[in-house]
Chain A
């Protein structure tokens, strides 16, 4: 038996040697063919629709030898896969899009990314609002990404529903009526008095809450990066106001992005929804037939940011130089203007926000509202909010907490306590 084992051992050894040889020869073949390559294929990984397709065509036409391939996924799977690809050291594209909710996760992991300062990014700094620029800067000053869009806030509302409830319907009048969030609730109270049957003023408590959090400076994190959810009076104030909206029956209590919420846009079951710039595209997609019934007014409480992304070049890229050049092209003022006009994602660069092309832009779906002006001005008014790595988890926890109250499974006090508990466990 022993001798058999020994022989078997030798057999295994031979097999192993053969396998290794085969792999090595395979590798050398691969290496040889790689050296012959003259064309560069750049891969870019985004989520949802960044509106880049025509821009790729332009770029490939003006840069012969460069081929661009886009991968796209949903928001959540995209960021999950990104974390995996970076950690395992394989599978990441040359260019990876990162949303603001995740960017703080990666500024602390800057070793995975190419420092864009190497490719002249520092010169672009003055184009951006300082806060947008800083969001993609690591503690060691590495610039891991360039900003694409920002999600500045407005209020999208149904003209027809407000009219039936006897309220004004022009953006100017409404904007004045709800200059603060408590004014907003007061308008809601008036709405509910004569509301069309089955409709509510607000779609979802969590959308209201998230908008207020987006405006808070600071929000969930302090400037030094500490979690201050419990001690920040602004967070508690936003919570209390949301609870008040629920108590006053102004809140439809829908779950954002769920089937009933989507159907609500079509059937008009709520009169207002807090609108980051990218929400425009979503509403049009859900209710194409409601064109002309929606309009947009200024958001209570001044500007605010909800969403927006960055393009990064990963260290896994073999063509960092070419990739960085493409990132610069895609985030150029011209490209950002193009994307805004065709997809609705709001530019992040100051000169673009102030440009005529954006300021004069009106959207026919939203009753020809001057959406360019509304969103651009909201973006320019923005004050920077410090972000942290678990921002996204806190948002999930608060959304769940508000829904527990909306669905009557918890009292506001108990829901708040559990929210704090979830925050502690997410950041621990």
Chain B
């Protein structure tokens, strides 16, 4: 063998690198683009797709953290979930808090953005200031607001009491606890949304306002008939962001309750959100029902997807009505 290769024609030696170079070039052309975009897909696959799929699989088993073995039980967890009144209560709570926080929040953000868009003194200062709640730690916000809304010694009840209104037991009531949580969410997110609206407002051409002014529209009418319609895509964006955030609400509500209530969101589960219920089943109690918690997680995914679709149709109808 050695002798054969040793006496082989020298031409072969030249041909091989050329062929290889050609091959490499072809590989480079065909493969490199895939390599360049692969980081996203790898990361998405590992941290996005795999957990989603694995959670779906777990939701079909009776997996329990402390049990050595688990069994495939099909859709049993989902069947239980549909008849679980605590789950539906959590769904109601989540949507209730979402509605109470999102609607006023976005309206307020619009108004703030409008004000910041006028020739205000110390404009940059205010524009920066409305973003401050965003950089505050979520846990700090929740803890401080929980103190403010305390029954006996909370500041809000103190203020109400000084104008002769009875103390409200914020944490105990359903609507009152939703309200308290909505205030926390609003405090944190209104500035953020206002800033997004502000950016969009500045992209509206000045001519539209001039034309409106020529037609005799005052500032308020300009706002209603020029600014708001031009902001529609942006408003949609903020609604979707607020929806996703709202459906995943956890920290504020979790820290609002007392340490002894074990993640139930109040004694009557009056403000337990979907994610809190998931956590209760998952790690918050001594049950460690991973399978059941995974089923809740997938229901949450479905809710968010459903909301996305509804939003989409809603907006495409607005667009067609416009057109």
Contacts and interface: CB of A to CB of B under 8 A. Distances in A.
Interface of A: 4, 7-8, 11, 74-76, 80, 83-84, 87, 102, 105, 109, 206, 255-261, 263-264, 267, 269, 389-393, 396, 399-404, 407, 409-410, 426
B270 interface: yes
A338 B258 CA distance: 32
A256 B65 contact: no
B176 to A, nearest CB: 11
Contacts of B173: 409
Contact of B287 (A269, A399, A426): A426
Instruction: Report whether over half of chain B's contact residues are helix, strand or loop; otherwise say mixed.
Output: loop
Contact of A260 (B31, B66, B150, B262): B150
A259 B270 contact: no
Contact of A257 (B66, B146, B258, B285): B258
Interface in B163-204: 169, 171-173
B260 A396 contact: yes
Given A76-B259, A80-B283, A400 B268 contact: yes
A409 B153 contact: no
A263 B153 CA distance: 7
26 contacts: A4-B27, A4-B31, A7-B27, A80-B283, A83-B66, A84-B65, A87-B65, A206-B260, A255-B261, A257-B259, A258-B150, A259-B146, A259-B147, A260-B150, A264-B152, A267-B153, A269-B152, A391-B286, A392-B286, A396-B261, A396-B264, A403-B268, A404-B268, A409-B172, A426-B286, A426-B287
Contacts of B150: 258-260, 263
B232 interface: no
B288 interface: yes
Contact of B267 (A75, A109, A257, A404): A404
Contacts of A105: 66, 286
B308 interface: no
B154 interface: yes
B264 A409 contact: no
A100 to B, nearest CB: 13
Given A257-B260, A259-B147, A407-B267, A393 B65 contact: no
Given A4-B30, A4-B31, A102-B286, A259 B153 contact: yes
B151 interface: yes
Interface in B248-278: 258-262, 264, 266-268, 270
A263 B152 contact: yes
A403 B154 contact: no
Interface string B275-311: 0000000011111100000000000000000000000
Given A396-B262, A404-B268, A426-B285, 15 more contacts: A83-B288, A105-B66, A109-B66, A206-B260, A255-B171, A255-B258, A256-B260, A257-B260, A259-B147, A260-B150, A264-B152, A267-B153, A393-B262, A407-B267, A410-B268
A240 to B, nearest CB: 19
A407 B154 contact: no
B258 A393 contact: no
Contacts of B169: 407
Interface residues of B, number: 32
A81 to B, nearest CB: 9
A392 B146 contact: no
A399 B260 contact: yes
B260 A255 contact: yes
Given A83-B288, A389-B286, A401 B267 contact: yes
A260 B153 contact: yes
Nearest to A75: B259
Contacts of A389: 286
Nearest to A207: B260
B65 A400 contact: no
Contacts of A257: 258-260
Contacts of B259: 74-76, 257-258
B95 to A, nearest CB: 20
- Between A257, A269, A403, the greatest number of chain B beta carbons within 10 A of the residue's beta carbon is seen for A403
A393 B31 CA distance: 56
A54 B199 CA distance: 59
Nearest to A79: B286
A326 B125 CA distance: 59
Interface string B38-73: 000000000000000000000000000110000000
Nearest to B23: A7
Contacts of B66: 83, 87, 105, 109
B89 to A, nearest CB: 12
Given A80-B283, A259-B153, A403 B288 contact: no
Q: Which 9 A-B residue pairs are closest in the complex by CB-CB distance?
A: A403-B267, A396-B262, A258-B258, A407-B172, A400-B267, A259-B150, A255-B258, A257-B259, A260-B152
Contacts of B270: 409
A261 B258 CA distance: 10
Contacts of A7: 27
A256 B258 CA distance: 7
B283 to A, nearest CB: 5
A155 B169 CA distance: 28
B225 to A, nearest CB: 47
A396 B172 contact: no
B154 A83 contact: no
A223 B147 CA distance: 43
A291 to B, nearest CB: 21
Contacts of A407: 169, 172, 267-268
A390 B286 CA distance: 6
A258 B261 CA distance: 10
